[in-house]
Amino acid sequence: MAPIDSDDNTTAGEGEELRAGRRKAARYVVPVAVMGVAAATIGLVPALADSGDPDLPKITAQQLIEKIATSDVEQMSGTVRINTDLGLPDLGGLESGLLSGMSAGPGSGGDGEGSAADPSAKLTELVSGSHTLRVAADGPDRQKLSLLENAAEYSLVHNGEDVWGYDSKSNEVYHSTAPADEGRPGRGTPDKDVPATPKDFAEQALKAVDDTTSVTVRGTAQVAGRDAYRLVVEPKQDGSTVSAITVAVDAETGLPLKFTLTPASGGAAVVDVGFTQVSFAKPDASTFDFTPPEGAKVTESDTGAKAPEHGRPAGGDLAGELEGLKVIGEGWNSIATFDTGARGGLPTGSPGGDLGGLGGFLGSFGDQVKGDFGSGTVFKTRLVNALITDDGKVYAGAVTKDALVKAADAAR
């Protein structure tokens, strides 16, 4: 180990040189070993930390659903990780531009309605990619939802009558009032259009439960350090693109902690929303205090209802605007169908508004199909498929391509 001696090779004999050479090589073992230990730690620690599934008393699916329904967690805070992989082509900036374009409407960019702090514009971003959220709630009147971004944050604070949206990146504030008599907004996400917490997702999923669905309790899991039951919701029919929905329900409080939607095509979950950290202690009262910072641009909403009206994601308006929207089938295999009236395949004046100009562009993503109904184009995502026939009819649903073609044939 005497470093100063290592250049005394002028006197070294041949054997010594060989030994010195070996000693030199041995030193390089150190960085390699450090790297090996690091790699092993990165690989093994999550595996070791996974201490197996907790032992919990048996519970029936019915009891568990009741537990979720009666769950009354008033005070909690935590960090939620949302991953959505709808299998849409990765359009990068175009995608987010599209989303904000659709939700912010024509007013965006001007100094009128298009505030960067508008909740509906902001929460639409959750539809794709990975996001980290923080939620805090203290009773029905005080909630906070923060969307953590790179070196910025979007906060939505509901405190009593006020709903504040604050976008730190653009330093803009959005303010609306939620009248007390109008009923309380959803817990955790005031004034929301998009579900954000595992609970929101679980409620949506359980709404769909009927006799086309099997609901079972399948084992237990650890989520965010808490013991939870795994509630598995599966479609009984064939032809759905949904393989299963798994909801991890906190054994103690009945709060859904994790929501996973796996597609029938296999692979990563389409939607994966779960707490990475959760606490049921009362959040600090200062969490819900908000006063607009000096110099921030404040956009006032005239009424609580105005913002969602102009900024609802295209899906909501679509159903309302189109006449003749019909639903074929039931349960998981429901297919929505409508006639755009536009002959010649891809509608150019598409109801999506901004999507219209992209018609031809989107066409390149579709598969051509033929059947008794004629021919058309199927657009596939990992969850929702849509068939647009050449005579302008649209069939869409969370079903496979074959099911869409069958539905189109039957409608003929």
As a whole number of angstroms, the distance between CA 60 and CA 231 comes to 10
Least separation, in Å, of the C-beta of 32 and another protein?
9
Least separation, in Å, of the C-beta of 74 and another protein?
20
If one asks whether residue 175 binds another protein (CB under 8 A), the answer comes out as no
Burial class (CB in 10 A: 0-12, 13-18, 19+), 210: exposed
Region near another protein per CB under 8 A, out of 19-27, 179-187, 188-196, 346-354: 19-27
Burial class (CB in 10 A: 0-12, 13-18, 19+), 310: middle
Residue 178 phi/psi, 5-degree rounding, is -110, 100
Sign of CA dihedral 316, 318, 321, 325: negative
If one asks whether residue 290 binds another protein (CB under 8 A), the answer comes out as yes
If one asks whether residue 169 binds another protein (CB under 8 A), the answer comes out as yes
Least separation, in Å, of the C-beta of 367 and another protein?
25
Structure tokens that stand for 397 in this block: 């649903």
Choice from 74, 238, 289, 321 touching another protein (CB under 8 A): 289
Choose among 195, 162, 193, 126: nearest CA to 298.
162
Cβ-based neighbours of 93, under 8 Å, separated by 6 or more:
none
As a whole number of angstroms, the distance between CA 326 and CA 306 comes to 28
If one asks whether residue 15 binds another protein (CB under 8 A), the answer comes out as no
If one asks whether residue 34 binds another protein (CB under 8 A), the answer comes out as yes
Least separation, in Å, of the C-beta of 14 and another protein?
17
In degrees, rounded to 5, the angle at the alpha carbon of residue 401 between the alpha carbons of residues 400 and 405 is 120
- Encoded one letter per residue, x for contact with another protein by CB under 8 A and - for no contact, window 72-111 reads -------x----------x-x-----------x---xxxx
Least separation, in Å, of the C-beta of 318 and another protein?
24
Name which of 47 and 151 has its Cβ closer to another protein.
Answer: 151
User: 328 and 407 in contact (C-beta within 8 Å)?
Assistant: yes
Choice from 12, 18, 38, 91 touching another protein (CB under 8 A): 38
If one asks whether residue 114 binds another protein (CB under 8 A), the answer comes out as yes
For residues 88-126, one letter each, b for 16 or more C-beta atoms within 10 angstroms of the residue's C-beta and e for the rest, the string is beeeeeebeebbbbbbbbeebeeeebbbbbbbbbbbbbb
Least separation, in Å, of the C-beta of 305 and another protein?
21
Region near another protein per CB under 8 A, out of 27-35, 220-228, 304-312, 332-340: 27-35
In angstroms, the Cα distances linking 104 to 21, 110, 131, 311 are: 69, 11, 20, 6
If one asks whether residue 14 binds another protein (CB under 8 A), the answer comes out as no
Choice from 31, 46, 57, 320 touching another protein (CB under 8 A): 31
Q: Which chain residues interact with another protein by CB under 8 A?
A: 1-7, 9, 23-24, 27-28, 30-31, 34-35, 38, 79, 90, 92, 104, 108-111, 114-116, 132, 134, 146, 148, 150-153, 155, 157, 164, 166-172, 286-287, 289-291, 293-297
